[in-house]
Structure 1
Amino acid sequence: MAIEGITSDKTLAEGIDNDQKLNRTPTQISSSSEIQPELHEKYGPADFETAIEMAGFGKFNILLILCAFPAAAATIVETSVMSFILPSAECDLKLTLIDKGLLNGVTYLGMITSAIIWGYYSDTKGRKNLLIFGYFSNIISVMGAATSQTVIQLMVFKYISGCIMCGPFAILLSYLTELHGKKHRSRILMYVGVMFSVSNTVLPIVALLVLPKHWDFKLCGLQFHSWQVFIAINALPSLLAGILLNFFPESPKFLMSQGRNAEALRVFQGIYAINNRKSREDFPIKELINELSTSEKTYIPNVSVYAIEESIPKEQQTNAINKIPKNDEKPKVGLRQGWEQLRPLLRKPYLGLSLRVYLMNFAVLVGQNTLRLWVPQMFASIEEYEQMYGTAGATMCTIVEYSVNKTEILKTQIRDFEMDKCEVDITPASYTNNILVAVTGLLGYIIAGIVVNRVGSKRLLTFGAVSAGLCGIGLYFSVSSLSTSIIASISITLGSIAAMSILSSSVDMFPTSLRAMIVSLAMMVGRIGSILGNVLFPIFMSLGCLSPFIMLTVAMWSAAIISLFMPNTKKMVLK
């Protein structure tokens, strides 16, 4: 794996020379030009956990969490916006049940396509700049989706959005994790879940304000409706995220893993100064351990392998450093470098562990994302059915049957060119149940954030998957819109907490050089599950009302069983 911009730093070679004079090993290379003996003896050279703990938790962390909110919201918007426009766009785009499933899943297809690329660049090029690039790029694809005139155009732009937003989601989790110590790490990821829940609350509120409007106008020769305005509004989180993240530093853990200790130390000093309202110079850590000697490898030109520093004589180390390409001679990124990044996950000790992570995420997202993305359509069908036939007998089976029959009628109208008969009555009540689901998720994540440090991510994952599976089958026995809302709310909340617990465990179990890659791959496999679930759900609906809910339960319980074979990551030191 290339370590661009690291070993070319002159301070590294100078540090080795100085260390030879002081009879120190290369692993004690200092990132500071001056070492205060008393502080060095007490605090240094410090590892990441020690340094981040000394930096403290305070104003910087709070500002970071607040500014991460629009970043998290942008991800939720991209994966959820289609589920809200399907009822109102049904006639405009002549949608069938399969079209709806594909629109719900096409964003995940884009995410699958780009997962490995984003994971590689994040773990080799850093976190911050890729986050900013991803959010700004997403604005273009969102506006393209907002101007779409056919279902094919909409699918293409949503696919592009998925390709773009895959990276920022995985990178954001790694970035936030690497700016917090083990004391706060699990809780921070649950706070990310709170951000997702708040976003899920805001989204139906915006839908409530926009989608029931009967807007129909032309602009630059293009026809626009309320659902297109709704899509355009949802570009705002990406815009805010791209702007706000400019004010934060690169991940110090990533910098240390790349040997850029001087930069990492400046980041720690900045965090310390903000949190403690002191001067940067007051930060007690004066040097950091050289992680390259234990976790990374030194590239020697004209040699086909990467050799561990400690296995190379000092003279060869110095010569190798002097021969390493300068900034204008950086090795080109290619398939070989990408393979080097991926290869550790395909062998021990990470192969079995990574496979279990993939399978769990696949199963959880089959259940959780399928239900989450079809709930707005289900609630719209419930509201429409009760307006026409009353609340008596409004069981889940009657709602599923009504939705399937309505779609068949729509297909007949499309075939017979009778679309003037197609009318969709979107009322504010169609989205109130979605707000209830989102608020339940918010409360659930707040509770999870409080208890996660006590029970651990593994137990939270198992409990969430088992309970969500019970709720999945419980939907079959629902006999009213109220009971459907309650059960769906609990199921989606617990499924989401289970999914976040998987990612929380993953960032603890894998080292920095693999962290974004494993999250990207886990989400890639999970998104395959999301696509599969969203395509199978309408097919199962046409077969009978019990089939889709059995699918949700089996998926969740499968994840719970696999979770029993995962290690406990409670208070695990970040590698």
Structure 2
Amino acid sequence: METEVDFIDSRKASVISDVKSLSRRVSELDPATFEEAIAETKFGKFNLLLFVLAIPASLCTVFDTSTMSYTFVAAQCDLELSLDDKGLLNAVTYAGMISSAIIWGFLFDVLGRKKLLVIGFLVDSIFVFTSALTQNIALLLVTKYLQGFIINGPFAALSSYMSEFHSAKYRPMCQIIIGSCNSFGTAFLPLIAWLILPYKIDFFVGDYSFHSWNIFLLVSGLPAFTSGLFYMFLPESPKFLMTCGQNEKALEVLRRVYSINTGEPRGSYPIKLLIDETKLNGNSKHGGKVTAQRSTTQALKEGLQQIKPLFYPPHLAKVCLTCSIMFFSVMSLNMLRLWLPQIFQTMTDYQIMHDGASASLCTMLEIITPTNSSISGKCVVNTDNSTIYINSIIVGSTAICGYILVGTLIRLLGKKKILLVVQCLGGGFCIGMYFSQQPSVALACSAIFIACGSLSSNIVISVTVDLFPTTLRTLAIALGMMIGRIGALGGNLVFPFLIKSGCEPPFFVVGGFMIAAALLSLLLPNTDMQALQ
């Protein structure tokens, strides 16, 4: 016979089960939260379409920051590039990213994701195409800066845009997909370079001379251009529309996604009402008020108020922590990533100079020099660089495998545990490069380090998405990336001095920064399966 206690316990279990369910059925008179509404759209063709479109969109940032690493060898004679010029060209894109981070984060959280995604990618493609017309280093520096200034926004918004079309069950996969696409870019870019740069291409159009590296830069702008066109046909984020009080538009987007995913008519979508988030957001002590059906001017004014909560408790501590982790993680990753082609070139030069003989990485780095040589006072470009491209493709492919592995484990172990593992592994393998006695071992260590570093920064972005509400989310991501890129900028300027000071400093310092990121990650809260607010 069931006792009263048994009855109460069974009711408690039933209530707990109902609370945990993200896809509970709601009556037509019961307003649904965003999490309930997005769960009812299911996972299907629309989500897969977002993942496919993430490929060219994610390539843009990789191409903008990495093309110079492969352009230097081919363009150094045409543009008379010194080592200082190369370092400056590597860093100037990050300078553009740093200077625009807050602006883009503010605009995306105020004006929406879609509109500025389209504008951002199309304008970035214009600057990339302009860089392909470069005849001197001054124009190249300006266009690379502007590329960094523009692309920072679409990259930050892409994470929020994709996350806001997925329920909590699938949300951790979004940043993994974006990171996988980034890693694909690190493998795809050297393949493009390999197909174009070794060939001698010289032709004139009026007063403009064009070479293989001009064609390479032109091709690198295609992902941004196609992304801008594709996103024209996608809807605005339903979460952003709800935050702005545009519930009817949000419902229409949700019905459309539901229909695409399930094949059912839009009218059969079970959610009929959404909660009014403008009332929920209007009680913030330090700003954050959002007026329903607001105008653009009113959105800008309220956006200024929405920035304030980011720098007050409880968000201030989270901002400081995520930014600190991003600083060490992104700095460590890009200090080595952008100099790997130069390191691979040095390894190739050493083996050519010593009739194919092998040596430790430290021994090979003792001959690090510019890749051009002088014959009778004439600048000569060495285009026999297939090893550089092959090694770079291996590094990028390893990172892709890392994302596939983590994608299968992240839902089992959680973001925080995975983050700690990849950061500790990355730091260890970077230091391991110092002890490598064979080029193949150095290549393996560098590949694992790049994979772990890329995973680290993308998982931190995913955690940031969970930690902050919609009106602060993209701004928090942009701020974190700005701090990380400050580290990348400084790291790339410092790295040549580390190499000159000996073999130990580059690898121990870079590895130490990644381990420092791991220590800070211990302080992160567990955000797995957290509802998107």
TM-score (norm 2): 0.91
Would the aligned equivalents of 2:327 and 2:485 in 1 still touch at CA under 8 Å?
yes
* Aligned equivalents of 1:295, 1:227: Cα separation in 2: 51
The alpha-carbon distance between structure 1 residues 381 and 219, as it changes in their structure 2 partners (threshold 3 A), is farther
* Aligned equivalents of 1:505, 1:325: Cα separation in 2: 30
The alpha-carbon distance between structure 1 residues 236 and 325, as it changes in their structure 2 partners (threshold 3 A), is closer
Q: Which residue of 2 aligns with 1:437?
A: 395
* Aligned equivalents of 2:255, 2:169: Cα separation in 1: 19
Alignment partner of 2:366: what SS? helix
* Aligned equivalents of 2:203, 2:462: Cα separation in 1: 46
Q: Which residue of 2 aligns with 1:88?
A: 74
Q: Which residue of 2 aligns with 1:467?
A: 425
* Aligned equivalents of 1:100, 1:296: Cα separation in 2: 50
Alignment map for 1:62-73 (pairs within 5 Å): 62-73=48-59
Q: Which residue of 1 aligns with 2:255?
A: 269
Q: Is the aligned partner of 1:357 residue 2:322? A: yes
Q: Which residue of 1 aligns with 2:452?
A: 494
Would the aligned equivalents of 2:156 and 2:474 in 1 still touch at CA under 8 Å?
yes
- Give the Å deviation of 1:107: 0.7
Alignment partner of 2:264: what SS? coil
Q: Which residue of 2 aligns with 1:245?
A: 231
Q: Specify which of 455, 477, 500 is matched with residue 542 of structure 1.
A: 500
Would the aligned equivalents of 1:467 and 1:494 in 2 still touch at CA under 8 Å?
yes
Alignment map for 1:321-340 (pairs within 5 Å): 327=295, 330-331=297-298, 333=300, 339-340=304-305
Q: Which residue of 2 aligns with 1:568?
A: 526
Aligned partner letter, 1:256:
M
Alignment partner of 1:182: what SS? coil
Aligned partner letter, 1:386:
Q
Q: Which residue of 1 aligns with 2:353?
A: 388
Aligned partner letter, 1:257:
T
The alpha-carbon distance between structure 1 residues 390 and 483, as it changes in their structure 2 partners (threshold 3 A), is farther
* Aligned equivalents of 1:307, 1:568: Cα separation in 2: 25
Alignment partner of 2:79: what SS? coil
* Aligned equivalents of 1:64, 1:364: Cα separation in 2: 27
Aligned partner letter, 1:432:
I
Would the aligned equivalents of 2:433 and 2:445 in 1 still touch at CA under 8 Å?
yes
Alignment map for 1:547-562 (pairs within 5 Å): 547-562=505-520
- Give the Å deviation of 1:385: 2.4
Aligned partner letter, 2:329:
V
Q: Is the aligned partner of 1:180 residue 2:166? A: yes
Q: Is the aligned partner of 1:287 residue 2:295? A: no
Q: Specify which of 441, 449, 454 is matched with residue 483 of structure 1.
A: 441
Cα displacement string for residues 68-114 of structure 1 (whole angstroms, at most 9, x for unaligned residues): 21111112111111111122223333333332222112111101111
Would the aligned equivalents of 1:257 and 1:291 in 2 still touch at CA under 8 Å?
yes
Aligned partner letter, 2:360:
T
Q: Which residue of 1 aligns with 2:385?
A: 427
* Aligned equivalents of 2:294, 2:334: Cα separation in 1: 47
* Aligned equivalents of 1:205, 1:393: Cα separation in 2: 25
Alignment partner of 1:402: what SS? coil
Cα displacement string for residues 334-371 of structure 1 (whole angstroms, at most 9, x for unaligned residues): 6xx55423211111001111001111001001111121
Alignment map for 1:195-210 (pairs within 5 Å): 195-210=181-196
Q: Which residue of 1 aligns with 2:264?
A: 278
The alpha-carbon distance between structure 1 residues 94 and 572, as it changes in their structure 2 partners (threshold 3 A), is same
- Give the Å deviation of 1:421: 4.2
Alignment partner of 2:367: what SS? helix
* Aligned equivalents of 2:422, 2:506: Cα separation in 1: 20
**Count of aligned residue pairs for this structure pair:** 509
- Give the Å deviation of 1:223: 2.2
Aligned partner letter, 2:55:
F
Q: Which residue of 2 aligns with 1:528?
A: 486
- Give the Å deviation of 1:40: 5.8
Q: Is the aligned partner of 1:111 residue 2:97? A: yes
Cα displacement string for residues 464-517 of structure 1 (whole angstroms, at most 9, x for unaligned residues): 111111111111122222112111100000111011110010000000000000
Would the aligned equivalents of 1:258 and 1:296 in 2 still touch at CA under 8 Å?
no
- Give the Å deviation of 1:325: 9.7
- Give the Å deviation of 1:272: 0.6
* Aligned equivalents of 1:105, 1:170: Cα separation in 2: 19
Alignment map for 1:513-524 (pairs within 5 Å): 513-524=471-482
- Give the Å deviation of 1:455: 1.2
Would the aligned equivalents of 1:91 and 1:424 in 2 still touch at CA under 8 Å?
no
Aligned partner letter, 2:95:
L
Would the aligned equivalents of 1:365 and 1:527 in 2 still touch at CA under 8 Å?
yes
The alpha-carbon distance between structure 1 residues 216 and 169, as it changes in their structure 2 partners (threshold 3 A), is same
Q: Any runs of at least 4 consecutive aligned residues in structure 1 with deviations exceeding 4 A, and if so which?
A: 305-309, 324-327
The alpha-carbon distance between structure 1 residues 520 and 326, as it changes in their structure 2 partners (threshold 3 A), is closer
* Aligned equivalents of 2:406, 2:299: Cα separation in 1: 44
* Aligned equivalents of 1:210, 1:562: Cα separation in 2: 42
Q: Which residue of 1 aligns with 2:124?
A: 138
Alignment map for 1:6-155 (pairs within 5 Å): 41=27, 44-155=30-141
* Aligned equivalents of 2:52, 2:362: Cα separation in 1: 42
Would the aligned equivalents of 1:98 and 1:535 in 2 still touch at CA under 8 Å?
no
* Aligned equivalents of 2:347, 2:51: Cα separation in 1: 37
Q: Which moved more, 1:105-114 or 1:537-546?
A: 537-546
Would the aligned equivalents of 1:87 and 1:426 in 2 still touch at CA under 8 Å?
no
Q: Specify which of 308, 330, 336 is matched with residue 343 of structure 1.
A: 308
Q: Which residue of 1 aligns with 2:367?
A: 402
Would the aligned equivalents of 1:382 and 1:394 in 2 still touch at CA under 8 Å?
no
The alpha-carbon distance between structure 1 residues 43 and 210, as it changes in their structure 2 partners (threshold 3 A), is farther
Cα displacement string for residues 522-559 of structure 1 (whole angstroms, at most 9, x for unaligned residues): 00000001111111111111121211112201110110
Q: Which residue of 1 aligns with 2:21?
A: none
* Aligned equivalents of 2:455, 2:82: Cα separation in 1: 32
Aligned partner letter, 1:445:
Y
Question: Equivalent pairs: percent with the same residue?
Answer: 38
Q: Which residue of 2 aligns with 1:368?
A: 333
Q: Which residue of 1 aligns with 2:241?
A: 255
The alpha-carbon distance between structure 1 residues 183 and 519, as it changes in their structure 2 partners (threshold 3 A), is same
* Aligned equivalents of 2:378, 2:207: Cα separation in 1: 22
Q: Is the aligned partner of 1:378 residue 2:336? A: no
Aligned partner letter, 1:532:
G
* Aligned equivalents of 2:283, 2:114: Cα separation in 1: 23
- Give the Å deviation of 1:390: 3.0
- Give the Å deviation of 1:43: 7.6
Would the aligned equivalents of 1:138 and 1:165 in 2 still touch at CA under 8 Å?
yes
Q: Which residue of 1 aligns with 2:12?
A: none
Would the aligned equivalents of 1:91 and 1:419 in 2 still touch at CA under 8 Å?
no
Q: Which moved more, 1:148-157 or 1:490-499?
A: 148-157
Aligned partner letter, 1:110:
G
Structure 2 gaps, min length 5 = 1-24
What CA RMSD, in Å, does the superposition of the two structures yield over aligned residues? Answer: 2.3
Q: Specify which of 185, 210, 220 is matched with residue 206 of structure 2.
A: 220
* Aligned equivalents of 1:491, 1:307: Cα separation in 2: 40
TM-score (norm 1): 0.84
* Aligned equivalents of 2:194, 2:149: Cα separation in 1: 28
* Aligned equivalents of 1:494, 1:500: Cα separation in 2: 10
- Give the Å deviation of 1:308: 7.3
* Aligned equivalents of 1:41, 1:140: Cα separation in 2: 50
Q: Which moved more, 1:391-400 or 1:355-364?
A: 391-400
The alpha-carbon distance between structure 1 residues 403 and 88, as it changes in their structure 2 partners (threshold 3 A), is farther
